[in-house]
Structure 1
Amino acid sequence: MRDVAHRAGVSLKTVSNVLNGYQYIRPETKERVNAAIAELGYHMNVSARNLSRGRTGAIALVLPALRGAYFAELADAVMHEASKLGLTVFMEQTNNERDRELRVLDGSYRSRFDGVLYSPLALRQEDVALFDVDLPLVLLGERVFDAGVDHVTMSNVDGARAATDHVLDLGARTVVPLGVKDDPSPSSGTLRLQGFREALAARGLDVDPRALISTPDYFHRTGAETMARILDSGVEPDAVVAFTDTLALGALAVLLDRGYRVPEDVLLIGFDNIEESTYSRPQISTIDPGREQIATHAVALLAERIRYNIDGVPREDQPAPRRVVVDFELVQRQSTAR
């Protein structure tokens, strides 16, 4: 920077003002500085600038697994939103391991990141006190509620109810769920099962208990294996409500292999609206949970908390923690087109 100032015939402060976009600089002075920067090939050390301001310019996105298509697409949306604000995103995968999730809350992230977007799966509601951390943090997902931090989540119950109502409206009566969890604590699976049951109960229907098979994860293989077990149990479904699109895609492969026509014999709908669901044959109807809106709200809330932190605003003087529930959209495609 000193060489730039000497070449342009200005002070170091003037060069700094130009680099940081200070508006009250004479045009001719700005031109001389920019010309000197170009001639010398000067590049500003952004990391050093951020550290001098008490920030790193980086945020962490902590997710259970990037193997799942939903989380991979969510990460892409978060990076897109963060880039608009000049933030770099570092991703960490916890693999649903409690020790790795606890590490996010132990203070070690504070020196590396300005804030964290955090989607835990191994932690429970009884761990809520651990979220009292001295670091801007926005919670994602459905595992922990009322943790004293901003929280962005989706309409799991209403979305699953809408998916189930959709197949019921098309005449289905033996509807089976795919994605049931044994663990009764809050999760996307338990909330979607709640919506599924509410839709059936509203019409005086119930699910065949033989179809309530727990799934350990939401990958394609699990969807295929669970669908096969449901069919092998003797249940003859006329509709399947899968709690993720990846489960629905796995189920689709088994249904077609067993000679069922989709949607003529069995209606099939998923949840998440991942890109892959548009390329199967038939294309999978789904619930779009508002992934882009989740990313937009989460990044904006975190950026606001980071700004308060940099400005030294005490937590008690900041806005109270907010919960944002993003709306959903039912997307009908070929798998429920009758």
Structure 2
Amino acid sequence: MAVTLHDVARLAGVSIKTVSNVVNDHPYVRDETRRRVLDAIAALGYTPNLSARSLRSGRTNVIALMIPDLRNAYFAELADAVMRAAAERGYSVLIEQFGDDREHEIAALRRPRPQLVDGVLYSVLALDQDDEDVIAAMPVPVVLLGERIFTGPRDHVTMRNTEGARAATEHVLGLGRRRVVALGAHPGEVIGSAALRLDGYRAALEAAGLPSDEELIVPVGSWLRRNGAEAMRDLLANGVGFDAVVAFNDAIALGALRALQEAGLRVPEDVAIIGFDDIDETQYSMPTLSTIDPGRAEIARTAVDLLVRRIEGGTAPFTPERVLVPYRLVPRESTAL
């Protein structure tokens, strides 16, 4: 038989209400009483019935984080940061990944979840303004992450993609490099990380009085290590001359780094390379990878705070917020001679 509140109350010699107050961490319980209840909970192995609590309170104290792919280290580390920030606010996190397919993303949004979570953090990938009704139909508070901008009543937290990529490009230009590869383009993309980072790359070249050479703009589909390595091997096989690489994320930068070393090129002596995201692995590659820190921890903390505010505010009207967090250039060995 499952241990109940009645069992805990009987062993601790208190009322069921007192046990409930301790379980829910109410502040107005005497220390001695709280200790007796906690001792009884430990002795009996009692665990709260979260489903019953949800039915009574209308809350689960669980939020969902919807992201494209945990194989992308940025999203894995973002998930970790979100879980830490949520735990500080008393919430648990349910993680859903939807891949890089538009239909899977829409299907994930339409899954029934009102009984499971109180709100959703959603990193938009393929949807655009024409899909605003899909997001608007979600029955719980939602905070959007990423570059896709929607005009509906949803908060939005994102990074400074264009400014960060421009800073990365200016960094290698400042080293005297003039043939700079933009690794990670998505041809035809207008809104999204790749498009915004390409804008930053081009702005830096223009400011330096350099042309944007199309043969130096290298497409990479999914931003994974193997794809970065394959794109770099193809570029080398084509005989294109270059002396620096601005990779649009760290994963493809690390793949490209491997391919450059396989080809006998020295980094940074022959080719300087810089990534974007400041994932943990960049501190341990050989050489360590220069990168852009996009403010991942602040993105997570800000998004969780906004979502909790909307959850706890109920149906009260609010003005949606759009927050751009600051970035930071992190120079390391891959660009330091």
TM-score with structure 2 setting the length:
0.92
Determine if contact 1:184/1:190 at 8 Å carries over to the other structure.
yes
User: Partner of 1:179: helix, strand, or coil?
Assistant: strand
Q: Which amino acid aligns with 2:179?
A: T
Q: Counterpart of 1:3?
A: 7
1:165 to 159, 167, 170: 170
CA distance in 2, matches of 1:141, 1:42: 41
User: Could you say what secondary structure the match of 2:81 adopts?
Assistant: helix
Q: Distance in 2 between matches of 1:234 and 1:211?
A: 11
Give the aligned partner of residue 189 of structure 1: 194
2:335 equivalent to 1:336: yes
Going from structure 1 to structure 2, the CA distance change for 1:49 and 1:336 (only over 3 Å counts) comes to same
% of aligned pairs identical?
A: 52
* Offset at residue 304 of structure 1 (A): 1.1
Determine which of 111, 125, 128 is the counterpart of 1:124: 128
- Give the gaps of 5 or more residues in structure 2: none
Corresponding position of 1:108:
112
- Match for residue 204 of structure 1? 209
- 2:22 is matched with 18
Contact 1:176–1:207 (CA under 8 A) maintained in structure 2: no
Amino acid at match of 2:307: L
| Number of matched pairs | 332
Residue pair 2:181, 2:218 contacting (<8 A) in 1 also: no
Distance 1:84 1:233, change over 3 A: same
Q: 2:151 aligns with which of 138, 143, 146?
A: 146
User: Residues 53-95 of structure 1: CA distance to partner in whole angstroms, max 9, x if unpaired?
Assistant: 0012211111111111111111111111112222221111101
Counterpart secondary structure, 1:295? helix
Inter-CA distance 26–274: structure 2 relative to 1 (3 Å threshold)? closer
State how far apart, in whole Å, the 1-side matches of 2:249 and 2:258 are.
15
Matches within 5 A, 1:49-128: 49-106=53-110, 108-128=112-132
Structure 2 letter corresponding to 1:85: R
Q: Conserved in 1, the CA contact under 8 Å of 2:223 and 2:252? A: yes
SS of the aligned residue for 2:313 comes to helix
Task: Give yes or no for contact 1:47–1:57 (8 Å, CA) kept in 2.
Answer: no
Normalising by structure 1, report the TM-score: 0.91
Alpha-carbon distance in 1 for matches of 2:66, 2:181: 33
Aligned-residue offset at 1:103: 2.9
8 Å Cα contact 1:110-1:135 kept in structure 2: yes
Aligned CA distance change for structure 1 residues 18 and 186 (closer, same or farther; 3 Å): same
| CA positional deviation for 1:6 | 3.6
User: What SS does the aligned partner of 1:213 have?
Assistant: strand
Deviation at 1:27, TM superposition (A): 5.0
**Unaligned 5+ residue runs, structure 1?**
none
- Is the 8 Å Cα contact of residues 70 and 274 (structure 1) preserved in structure 2? yes
Amino acid aligned to 1:294: I
